Chains A and B, each alone.
Chain A
């Protein structure tokens, strides 16, 4: 918990607050769109590209349901600036780690991983999520991408890039 309190205290720094605000509210969806386009360009195969789009849509569709099932309040609950929905798992962290999954195995991964970690931590710094809520979001987004990739690969039968968890050909 001490680490979480330390992260929240960083928001008092104007430079940190500026960077954090790039990934909050409506500006996040613009940033996400931009990042998704870059991820589409760098993705290794068409399977990954289709899986990326499917995973973003699936996260957007499933996340509100999951949040309502867990009904875990945000740490800022009750404040007028706090977002009205529940906090677990973090949607920002989920979407950021979908992009990480899509760029795994490419040079763009070295850009996307730090950005995704920063997006996730920015939600703790701005006081709208707890560390456990962003950990849940990270694993949720990454897992959704892997599942989408498996499904897309099954339908597209693309063999140019072996899927995650497949057997190596001798």
Chain B
């Protein structure tokens, strides 16, 4: 499956979560993602046990072909978005972070793969991709939170995304966002 197509699916999952939360409420957004997460687990388990089916195309839509187990990205994507939507407070900040994660990350990957200037600390990522992440993330987050928080979140997630955490990107980036949000909550900034 083409990486650009995979990123478009990544973008659509984020948009669906935001749309459901905005129009029907957070509980419906979480319920939708939970169902996707459980279906993803069923497909992943089937694949890990060596099964082949017509549903393989679904796993390829969400995950990279080099992943092991194949289709793991399908599950981590839902875990990442679920984590942001469930754990970030207040709700507008959760929506801003899901938007950065879905739009910023997708655009950064599509443009970054064509970039020629590699980051000094991670040869798998490009400067073009990180700048795209920062600018697009800042702009989409402004739809939900103030410019101050938009910039802080976009900077944080762009930095987190650029580091090789030895953990799936879809898990590491939201985890950093949740920890940052926890610090803001604990210190009374939010």
Provide the bound-state CA to CA distance between A79 and B87, in Å: 26
Verify if B151 is at the interface (C-beta below 8 Å from A).
no
Verify if B31 is at the interface (C-beta below 8 Å from A).
yes
A128-160 vs B: 1/0 string, CB under 8 Å?
001110011011101100110010000000000
Partner-contacting stretch, out of B64-72, B130-138, B152-160? B64-72
B95 nearest CB across to chain A (Å): 14
B154-169 residues with Cβ-Cβ distance < 8 A to A are 166-168
B30-72 vs A: 1/0 string, CB under 8 Å?
1101100110011011001100000000000000001111101
Known: A109-B45, A117-B38. A139 touches B82 (CB 8 A): yes
Assess the A166–B27 pair: CB atoms within 8 A: no
Verify if A18 is at the interface (C-beta below 8 Å from B).
no
Provide the bound-state CA to CA distance between A139 and B168, in Å: 15
Known: A138-B34, A168-B66. A104 touches B41 (CB 8 A): yes
- B34 contacts across to A, CB distance below 8 A: 135, 138
- B142 contacts across to A, CB distance below 8 A: none
Best-buried of A1, A4, A166 by chain B (most CB within 10 Å): A166
Provide the bound-state CA to CA distance between A113 and B42, in Å: 8
Known: A105-B49, A113-B42, A117-B38. A132 touches B89 (CB 8 A): no
- A104 contacts across to B, CB distance below 8 A: 41, 44-45, 48
- A136 contacts across to B, CB distance below 8 A: 86-87
Partner of A131, one of B31, B42, B45, B171: B31
- A interface residues, tally (CB under 8 Å): 35
Known: A69-B186, A105-B48, A165-B76. A150 touches B66 (CB 8 A): no
* Residue contacts A-B, CB under 8 angstroms, 12 given: A104-B41, A104-B44, A104-B45, A105-B45, A113-B42, A132-B27, A135-B30, A135-B31, A135-B34, A139-B87, A165-B72, A165-B168
Q: Which residues of chain A have a CB within 8 Å of any CB of chain B? A: 1, 3-4, 69-70, 89, 100, 104-107, 109-110, 113, 117, 130-132, 135-136, 138-140, 142-143, 146-147, 150, 162, 164-169
B91-117 vs A: 1/0 string, CB under 8 Å?
000000000000000000000000000
Partner of A143, one of B27, B38, B171: B171
Verify if B25 is at the interface (C-beta below 8 Å from A).
yes
Verify if B140 is at the interface (C-beta below 8 Å from A).
no
Interface size range on B against A: 35 or more
Assess the A100–B27 pair: CB atoms within 8 A: no
Best-buried of B38, B45, B49, B166 by chain A (most CB within 10 Å): B45
A77 nearest CB across to chain B (Å): 18
Residue in B closest to A136 when the chains form the complex, CB atoms: B86
Assess the B86–A89 pair: CB atoms within 8 A: yes
- A169 contacts across to B, CB distance below 8 A: 68
Assess the B68–A132 pair: CB atoms within 8 A: no
- B82 contacts across to A, CB distance below 8 A: 135, 138-139
Known: A69-B185, A109-B45, A139-B79. A167 touches B87 (CB 8 A): no
Partner of B168, one of A117, A131, A164, A168: A164
- A165 contacts across to B, CB distance below 8 A: 67-68, 72, 76, 167-168, 171
- B15 contacts across to A, CB distance below 8 A: none
Verify if B26 is at the interface (C-beta below 8 Å from A).
yes
